[in-house]
Amino acid sequence: MKKISALLIALVLLAVFTAGCLDTPPPAPPNPPAAPTSPNTPASPAPPASPAPPASPAPPAQGGGTDAVTSASPKESSVPADIINGLSDSGFWIFSVLSDVTMDGELVVSGEFHQRDDPTQPVYRKLSLYAQDADRNITAHYILTVPQITVRSPNFRIQSGIVRGDIVVEADGFELFGGVLLGNLTFRTQAQMDSAKLDEGVITGSVSVG
């Protein structure tokens, strides 16, 4: 009897133990290992910047001729015909030569003019044989080669530069200012000679009345 009781007790304990094992949940699977990282792994390079478009080429410089000297003003020229017209009785109160000039014939200065074409200003006329900068400093002197200049305009001044030829004066108040005359200077009357201003110029030839 005691053997049967011991056997029953053993069966009951086995059943209880088996049931407890069946009710225990299975263990959770371990987390997968993290992906290995390396401190020396370089960062992904940035995409290269797009190159800037090339600049448009500059237009070629325009060449200019130097055969003729011209000006926008009719009061400035180195063309003999322009000089003749500019110093005629229908010309200008002032005329400027822009380079060395050689004329084949006589140059006649005629007509009465006022300074700056203003009738309230004194009677005055001027031929400029020089160039100047913005501050009115003379930067170049020019040579006018001509057989003869006949002056019939009163108070006519030749300023700076060189006249290569003779000058005949038939009016009062002639002036050679800061210039050089490589030739003779002749006045038609003594009064015209007496009214002339020659101290500021240089004359290589004779000065006379005739």
Query: Would 65 be classed as within a structural domain?
Result: no
Tell me: the pLDDT tens digits for 142-163? Answer: 999 999 999 999 999 999 999 9
Is the distance from CB of 82 to CB of 99 less than 8 angstroms? no
The pLDDT value given to residue 20 = 47
Query: Would 119 be classed as within a structural domain?
Result: yes
Burial tier of 124 (Cβ tally within 10 Å: 0-12, 13-18, 19+): buried
The pLDDT value given to residue 12 = 45
The pLDDT value given to residue 73 = 64
Query: Would 5 be classed as within a structural domain?
Result: no
Is this structure's pTM higher than 0.85? no
Give the residue numbers spanning the domain of 169.
80-209
Tell me: the pLDDT tens digits for 87-114? Answer: 999 999 999 999 999 999 999 999 999 9
The pLDDT value given to residue 48 = 54
Residue 167, phi-psi category: left (phi > 0), alpha (psi -120 to 50), beta (remainder) = beta
Give 70 or 208, the one with higher predicted confidence: 208
* DSSP letter string, 8-73: HHHHHHHHHHHHHHHHSPPPPPPPPPPPP--TTPPPPPPPPPPPPPPPPPPPPPPP---SS---SS
Beta strand pairing status for 175-177 and 207-209? unpaired
Query: Would 18 be classed as within a structural domain?
Result: no
Tell me: the pLDDT tens digits for 46-55? Answer: 555 555 544 4
Q: What's the domain count of the chain?
A: 1
The number of angstroms, rounded, from the C-alpha of 14 to the middle of its chain's C-alpha atoms is 115
Query: Would 20 be classed as within a structural domain?
Result: no
Query: Would 42 be classed as within a structural domain?
Result: no
Tell me: the pLDDT tens digits for 8-19? Answer: 555 544 544 444
Query: Would 85 be classed as within a structural domain?
Result: yes
